[in-house]
Amino acid sequence: MKKILWILVIALAIPIVGASWTEWSPWQTFTYERTDYNFSIDVSEKWNMISIPWNESISKYDLTIVYGDSYTWNESVDAGILMGFVYGWDTEIQCYEFIDVLEPDRGYWIWSYYNITVKG
């Protein structure tokens, strides 16, 4: 997911990676792609409520499941490590629904057959 980041440099400019002094302007535009989510959630056997620890969505297919070895979401489901569904609450129709993308500020139910670690 690519984002545009605007930075206002005030007073004496602090050297910023990607900006040279000849191109200096009080407003600099930088494009970055987040590739290191770096979170880890310990999940117990049976039902678990999880949430993502930052203000950015993530697909369940981008999660890594650790149970001895590291698995993709689909590999862990095929290996019988966890159930392939993530349940989220739909506040409009007041019922649970299957979720593929975990959104910020929400909790989700997953079923694990073993004690595992979910990494993003």
State whether 46 and 83 are in the same domain. yes
Beta carbons of 45 and 71 less than 8 angstroms apart: no
State whether 53 and 73 are in the same domain. yes
Quote the percentage of the chain above a pLDDT of 70: 69
State whether 47 and 21 are in the same domain. no
State whether 21 and 46 are in the same domain. no
State whether 29 and 64 are in the same domain. no
Q: Which domain holds residue 20?
A: 2-33
* pLDDT single digits (tens) 33-47: 445 557 889 999 999
- Determine the pLDDT at residue 42: 92
Instruction: Look up the pTM and report it.
Output: 0.67
Total number of domains in the chain: 2
State whether 23 and 81 are in the same domain. no
State whether 95 and 56 are in the same domain. yes
State whether 27 and 47 are in the same domain. no
- Determine the pLDDT at residue 37: 54
State whether 70 and 114 are in the same domain. yes
- Residues near 83 by Cβ (< 8 Å), separated by ≥ 6? 77, 110, 111, 112, 113
State whether 20 and 66 are in the same domain. no
Q: Comparing 14 with 87, which gets the higher pLDDT?
A: 87
Mean pLDDT within 58-74:
95
Q: Locate all alpha helices (DSSP H) within the chain, ordered by sequence.
A: 73-78
Beta carbons of 39 and 102 less than 8 angstroms apart: no
State whether 63 and 101 are in the same domain. yes
Beta carbons of 109 and 47 less than 8 angstroms apart: yes
The one-letter code for the residue type at 31 is T
Summary mean pLDDT of the chain: 78
State whether 46 and 73 are in the same domain. yes
